[in-house]
Amino acid sequence: MNSTLVQVPHASEIVVKTEIRVKDNANFDFPSQSSAFRTIPQAKSSRHRLDGVHAWLPYYAGFSSDFVSSILNRLSLDASSIVFDPFAGCGTTNVVCKSLSVPSIGLELNPVAYVAANAKLAWDLDRSEIVQELKKLNPTKLEARNWIQAQDQRGPSEAFDYLFSAGHEILQSHGSIRCFLLAIAVETLRKLSVGGESTNPTWPKLEPKSAKAKTAYRVFSKIVSERVTQIEKHRANASCRAEVLYADAVGFDPDFKADAVLTSPPYLNRLDYVMNFALENSYLLKLGFPVAMSIDELRGKMIGTVKIGDVPSTSSEWGGTSKEVLEGIKIHPSRAAETYYLKTVLQYFDRLHKCICMVGRSLKNDGVCLMVVRSSYFKDMEVPLALIVEEMAANAGFKEISLVREDGSGSTTSH
């Protein structure tokens, strides 16, 4: 097994990356036994300016495109390869792959991220097709039946009702234009909302403000026009396969063999990806897209969720470090350590382990897997995720391990 770990010495930035090779001859350009250090850009996007399609959704945990290209450029990939990201988020891996003409597949369970990822990949659309669809969304032209459906779901403002009815109209279209336009509806909703203040910075409490339908249509049309110009720049690579599927990585059964996996699973830090975009996700789920499910049901399925479902029992396949962590939490004197936190961590380890096994099955024999992971803390106790991922991967049959460290200057080095 070969895995690569990255650790940042700054307390606020404990980032660990794990690269796992499944075969000794894996074709990856990180010298595992050398003392030479190489610098690669930081994984997280927040330190990087987002531009072009990458700026379409401000995703808290998104990769930086520089990091993804830097990794992809070290792998020998071409138009016949497949890159897989089982936690695609807002699609950075897939967008960068497509721009390098490398086919890719992603999975994502958060509706707003799934829609945004596919919108960013809709490079086949042309302006005239979009303009035609846009005309149908003019409030004066919206089909009566959509307004009637919207009335069943009355929102707090006319603009919200309009966006809901426009959403129904968009769902009648097919292909990449659906996600492209829905992502813009979501963005319009965001722009016509107020709030955002909350005790949890990753859980903004947005509410639609009072606005007219024609105001929403004007905002919508303006975003369409900006985004059409942006996707036109990518036309040359439009035919390269890149899709993000709406799927739960935990039970996913890959029917392909990937050359490389580049991904970052949710960490054990209680970040609620669904509530991070509560307003936008409520809008999409009310439309029944991509699923008809309640917000709570969806939250229960996410990896790292704070909601407890069926609590699994410990498995020796998870390795010794996870066992120590679980024992530490069990005897921890803090309130609810055993009755609540222990259950969330058990659930997290179980789901993470299933995904690592699934990733193993998705890879070709000489495939490479690179995971970006971050340790977290339960009170004063470190949960060393890199070590846990490494042990789970070893038990799942991955081979070779090597290390990558992120240096204090914020860049990433490997040795």
Ligand X SMILES: C[S@@+](CC[C@H](N)C(=O)[O-])C[C@H]1O[C@@H](n2cnc3c(N)ncnc32)[C@H](O)[C@@H]1O
- Cβ–Cβ < 8 Å for 383, 318: no
Q: State the DSSP string of 303-360.
A: TT-SS--SPPPP-GGG-HHHHHHHHHHHT--STTIIIIIHHHHHHHHHHHHHHHHHHH
Selected range binding ligand X among 55-63, 281-289, 307-315, 361-369, rule: CB under 6 A: 55-63
115 C-beta neighbours (distance < 10 Å), count: 29
In the bound state with ligand X, the residue whose beta carbon lies nearer, of 63 and 162, is 63
In the bound state with ligand X, the residue whose beta carbon lies nearer, of 265 and 328, is 265
* Closest C-alpha among 68, 66, 28, 73 to residue 50: 66
Strands 400-406, 412-414: pairing is antiparallel
Selected range binding ligand X among 147-155, 222-230, 243-251, 320-328, rule: CB under 6 A: 243-251
Q: Is residue 264 close enough to count as binding ligand X by CB under 6 A?
A: yes
In the bound state with ligand X, the residue whose beta carbon lies nearer, of 34 and 294, is 294
d(CA 61, CA 70): 18
Q: Is residue 249 close enough to count as binding ligand X by CB under 6 A?
A: yes
Q: What is the closest distance, in whole angstroms, from the C-beta atom of residue 95 to ligand X in the complex?
A: 9
Q: Is residue 107 close enough to count as binding ligand X by CB under 6 A?
A: yes
Q: Is residue 243 close enough to count as binding ligand X by CB under 6 A?
A: no
Q: What is the closest distance, in whole angstroms, from the C-beta atom of residue 362 to ligand X in the complex?
A: 13
Q: Is residue 112 close enough to count as binding ligand X by CB under 6 A?
A: no
- Cβ–Cβ < 8 Å for 122, 179: yes
d(CA 242, CA 123): 10
Q: Is residue 188 close enough to count as binding ligand X by CB under 6 A?
A: no
Q: Is residue 373 close enough to count as binding ligand X by CB under 6 A?
A: no
Among 4, 70, 92, 412, binds ligand X (CB under 6 A): 92
Q: Is residue 66 close enough to count as binding ligand X by CB under 6 A?
A: no
- Cβ–Cβ < 8 Å for 230, 52: yes
SS3 category, 65:
helix
Q: What is the closest distance, in whole angstroms, from the C-beta atom of residue 115 to ligand X in the complex?
A: 12
Q: What is the closest distance, in whole angstroms, from the C-beta atom of residue 248 to ligand X in the complex?
A: 5
Query: Please, which of residues 69-88 interact with ligand X by CB under 6 A?
Result: 87
Among 41, 62, 328, 367, binds ligand X (CB under 6 A): 62
Q: Is residue 61 close enough to count as binding ligand X by CB under 6 A?
A: yes
Q: What is the closest distance, in whole angstroms, from the C-beta atom of residue 264 to ligand X in the complex?
A: 4
Selected range binding ligand X among 22-30, 71-79, 102-110, 375-383, rule: CB under 6 A: 102-110
What is the per-residue binding string for ligand X in 280-319, x denoting contact by CB under 6 A?
A: ---------------------xxx----------------
Selected range binding ligand X among 109-117, 136-144, 189-197, 287-295, rule: CB under 6 A: 109-117
Q: State the DSSP string of 200-225.
A: STTS--EEEPP--HHHHHHHHHHHHH
Q: What is the closest distance, in whole angstroms, from the C-beta atom of residue 275 to ligand X in the complex?
A: 11
In the bound state with ligand X, the residue whose beta carbon lies nearer, of 56 and 63, is 63
> How many chain residues are in contact with ligand X, going by CB under 6 A?
22
Task: State the residue number with the nearest CB to ligand X.
Answer: 89
Among 110, 157, 165, 347, binds ligand X (CB under 6 A): 110
d(CA 236, CA 371): 30
- Cβ–Cβ < 8 Å for 273, 302: yes
What Cα–Cα distance (Å) separates residue 30 from each residue in 15, 37, 79, 374?
18, 9, 22, 20
Q: Is residue 89 close enough to count as binding ligand X by CB under 6 A?
A: yes
d(CA 187, CA 193): 10
Q: Is residue 59 close enough to count as binding ligand X by CB under 6 A?
A: yes
d(CA 396, CA 399): 9
d(CA 200, CA 331): 28
Q: Is residue 193 close enough to count as binding ligand X by CB under 6 A?
A: no
Return the exposure string of 125-153: e unless at least 16 CB atoms fall within 10 Å of the residue's CB, then b. Answer: beeebbeebbeebebeebeeebbebbeee
**Residue holding tokens 């007219």?**
212
* Closest C-alpha among 71, 87, 121 to residue 271: 87
Among 28, 56, 63, 162, binds ligand X (CB under 6 A): 63
Q: Is residue 108 close enough to count as binding ligand X by CB under 6 A?
A: yes
Chain residues binding ligand X by CB under 6 A are 59, 61-63, 87, 89-90, 92, 107-110, 113, 248-250, 264, 266, 273, 301-303
